Structure 1
């Protein structure tokens, strides 16, 4: 891959090595695959120089990092992820009306949503993060019929997420924020991690009418060459729970 990018730009090993601050023999070893993975600093230096001659595509950048064993290990800020929500992706959310649909990142930040989603979770768009909404917005307890269970599931999912990445800078700051809430501290101290929902059904209450409904929650990863595995689409579809006894016990 590195040799192809170099050849496409008419750059010699010596020239690339000089501008990246490494030796020509090191470049040769990398291209032959007989050297351990390079550091991110080396790869960034190589990419910067090649990019100056002719810009690399986002796919080429990602592939080069993946081959170097340096796949995405940092969580991009919300604003950067929102830039990836194209007009076509936004229209896809609107096509799901009247069902709930939203793009969220793996840290439970809402990046974009349709009107049905915003109405179902009043205040969430402004709060941005689902856990922040759960713990800091009183409306969440009115909306979520099984509020404590949903909070517990999301906290456990957060613990699993933090354990699966090497980027802990964002998590330290976020945990400090959530740690102000006693409920979060109690659930966090349980020390349990999760990687999904035990049950697909989520029970919601309409704060205007008091009516309750069940939705089947579905999450799908959205392909992104720029920020792989960071964006998901949330779909909340009508659910007719097979456990009718449980459904009948949902308080109105």
Structure 2
């Protein structure tokens, strides 16, 4: 690549250099970057992705940005998100696996009892059934101290949430509720604002996290997103067979289960997660004020 003989003010490729690597003219690339060139071919987008060394998620994001104007339906409000009966049946049969159903804005549309206990046991278990009270996982991760403390490596979880929201924002550029959520998080969390300005893309399909649960202590989980196409997704948390984390989940299920024992060392002390804990060595902090509480 030819040099231009002058000192760079910022790191990275110049437009002319990127255009040269991708095999397009600098003027065409400039129009494309500014949104003035319509109908970029998949081959051109792949050439740009190769020049920028994008990973697969970033490559799909670039293609989505180029196609969004063709697929956009102007003036139509997004349809309300609902949980299909088949998805509710899936939650019911996954009694030993924490599972939640998330909408595209990370609103919690439904959860099973173990999903509620693992991810947000301090909240009302019936909240997802009331649209005005539905928890939002992105909001909880950044603004709720209980959920924030769940993740030993909170910055890693935060980056994943923001990277996924950027993918969603590209697919739904006219979703007013999504933009309201992004504005709220930017105003209330400087950390969110910094991550959003970084423009990182990350598809949250499979990720391993170390969690610090207030009832059962530390556990390692793999969070997986199950999707069958457009619409809500099911997020499950699994643990390795025979591991201490699997035992911790079993203890959590016992604590919140409908048939949890009513006697034992902690008789009379109902957990803030809706059940009773019978293991004497476990303890939990008293619920404190959450971010945003007055």
Matches within 5 A, 1:1-252: 76=78, 80-82=80-82, 84-86=83-85, 88-122=86-120, 123=122, 126=127, 128-179=135-186, 180-196=188-204, 200-209=207-216, 211-222=217-228, 229-239=230-240
Name the CA distance, whole Å, in 2 between partners of 1:193 and 1:102: 23
Give ranges in structure 1 of 5+ residues lacking alignment. Answer: 1-68, 224-228, 241-252
Question: Is residue 108–residue 130 contact of structure 1 (8 Å, CA) maintained in 2?
Answer: yes
Question: Is residue 102–residue 109 contact of structure 2 (8 Å, CA) maintained in 1?
Answer: yes
Question: Is residue 103–residue 234 contact of structure 1 (8 Å, CA) maintained in 2?
Answer: yes
Corresponding residue SS for 1:239: coil
Question: Is residue 204–residue 225 contact of structure 2 (8 Å, CA) maintained in 1?
Answer: no
Q: Deviations over 1:89-115 (max 9, x none)?
A: 323212112211121112211110101
Corresponding residue SS for 2:81: helix
TM-score by length of 2: 0.49
Corresponding residue SS for 2:101: strand
Name the CA distance, whole Å, in 1 between partners of 2:173 and 2:150: 34
TM-score by length of 1: 0.56
Number of paired residues? 161
Name the CA distance, whole Å, in 2 between partners of 1:138 and 1:158: 20
Name the CA distance, whole Å, in 2 between partners of 1:119 and 1:196: 21
Distance 1:194 1:119, change over 3 A: same
Name the CA distance, whole Å, in 2 between partners of 1:188 and 1:70: 25
Corresponding residue SS for 1:196: coil
Give ranges in structure 2 of 5+ residues lacking alignment. Answer: 1-69, 128-133, 242-294
- Judging by fraction of residues, say which structure has more helix: 1
Question: Is residue 140–residue 148 contact of structure 2 (8 Å, CA) maintained in 1?
Answer: no
Q: What's the Cα RMSD here? A: 2.6
Question: Is residue 201–residue 214 contact of structure 1 (8 Å, CA) maintained in 2?
Answer: yes
Q: CA deviation at 1:214?
A: 1.4
Q: CA deviation at 1:217?
A: 1.8
Question: Is residue 78–residue 175 contact of structure 2 (8 Å, CA) maintained in 1?
Answer: no
Corresponding residue SS for 1:91: helix
Q: CA deviation at 1:70?
A: 5.5
